[in-house]
Copies of this chain bind each other. A is one copy, B any other.
Amino acid sequence: MKLQALAELLGGELRGNGNTEIWGVSGASDAKEGDITFLAGMKWLKEVKGSSASAVLVKEFVDEIAKPQLKTGNPQYAFAKLLSHFYVRPHPCKGISSRAFISEKASIGQDVTIYDFAYIADGVRIGAKSVVYPGVFIGEDSTVGEGCTIHPNTTIRERVTIGSNVVIHSGAVIGADGFGYVFEGGVHHKIPQVGTVVIEDDVEIGAGVTIDRATTGTTRIGRGTKIDNLVQVGHNVQVGRNVILVAQIGIGGSSHIGDHTIIGGQAGIADHTTIAPGTMIGAQSGVLGEVQRGIYSGSPIMPHRDWLKASAVFARLPELKKKIEELEKSIRTIQSPEEQ
């Protein structure tokens, strides 16, 4: 495909040879001749200049780059669109394998693919064009919307509702019992977890993620939210729309995460926490209580800038302690010079 044609496809502006042949799309470090790559920011300029790519997607033309450039408002978005254009093909409908188990009481939409060894229980409904890979379990009366991809070995328990265009990666478990016990007579008694889980449209759920069903009521993941691998979402949690949860986060029961919040990897959110929309939480943070909109880090969290400054001082604590001891000594000398 010629670069000129890509410019037309993306509605971008071209600088350099429009006849450059583009065979592929690649990140700068992986690019080879014939690839188009992108410049995400000036900190990547050296890597992009040094790459073998034949053209670059940019936000503004950059004189230091000798390669042909294609200017678009959001070069990373253009990159994503080109990856789709070059490499992504819709999963062809392969029908329903006779080696899957499909309850007679399940309702399967048009052009659904269900592979071998998938188990579809009574009362399940699966929307058109969804793909269910081998080893997937979908429990009684659960619903999967249209255009979903449920990757191998995923478990969706009973009475769970999955919206449309949802992707669930392998090993994820949606709707396991929440972790609720009451201590009486020296032992922990299980509180039955009879609620459910709702995953709204356009959500993506990473490999090995666990999202527990509510004790009563609903655990909810809002539309457009993206969850990385090995994240734990406790019972009755409400995650808003377009939230980003990076890998290995844990969210305790009944917490509310506002829309458009971004939480870094391995952060922990205590139960009954409320986080305002648009908040950013740093990796490995510990969060509890009511959190106003802002940028935070640390465990417990504090404003991110304060955390950066405090962390810088932390390493110098032994030195500070020594200074304090010297100050005390100096003061004693000043106060009682004869005793020294």
List residues of chain A with CB under 8 Å of any chain B CB.
25-27, 29-31, 74, 76-77, 79-80, 83-84, 87-88, 99, 101, 115-117, 119, 133-135, 137, 139, 151-153, 155, 157, 167, 169-171, 173, 176-177, 179, 181-182, 184, 186-192, 194-195, 202, 204, 206-208, 210, 212, 214-218, 224, 226, 228-230, 232, 234, 236, 242, 244, 246-248, 250, 252, 254, 265-266, 268, 270, 283-284, 286, 298-300, 302, 306-307, 309-318, 320-321, 323-324, 327-328, 330-331, 334-335
Contacts and interface: CB of A to CB of B under 8 A. Distances in A.
A30 B216 contact: yes
B80 A191 contact: yes
A299 B321 contact: no
B310 A317 contact: yes
A216 B316 CA distance: 42
A250 B283 CA distance: 10
A324 to B, nearest CB: 5
Contacts of A187: 202, 224, 242
Contacts of A79: 182, 191
A181 B244 contact: yes
Given A135-B135, A192-B83, A216-B30, A181 B226 contact: yes
A328 to B, nearest CB: 7
Which 4 pairs from chain A and chain B are nearest by CB? A30-B217, A137-B152, A155-B170, A173-B207
Given A119-B115, A171-B171, A270 B242 contact: no
B316 A321 contact: yes
A310 B318 contact: yes
Contact of A299 (B151, B167, B179, B284): B284
Contact of A87 (B88, B151, B194): B194
A312 B119 CA distance: 52
Given A27-B215, A187-B224, A214-B30, A101 B80 contact: no
A286 B155 CA distance: 32
A323 B250 CA distance: 38
A318 B309 contact: yes
A186 B173 CA distance: 28
Nearest to A181: B226
A173 B184 contact: no
A119 B137 contact: no
Contacts of A173: 153, 169-171, 207-208, 229
Contact of A192 (B87, B266, B286): B87
A296 to B, nearest CB: 11
A258 to B, nearest CB: 15
B192 A242 contact: no
A153 B169 contact: no
A177 B334 CA distance: 66
Contacts of A31: 216
B135 A119 contact: yes
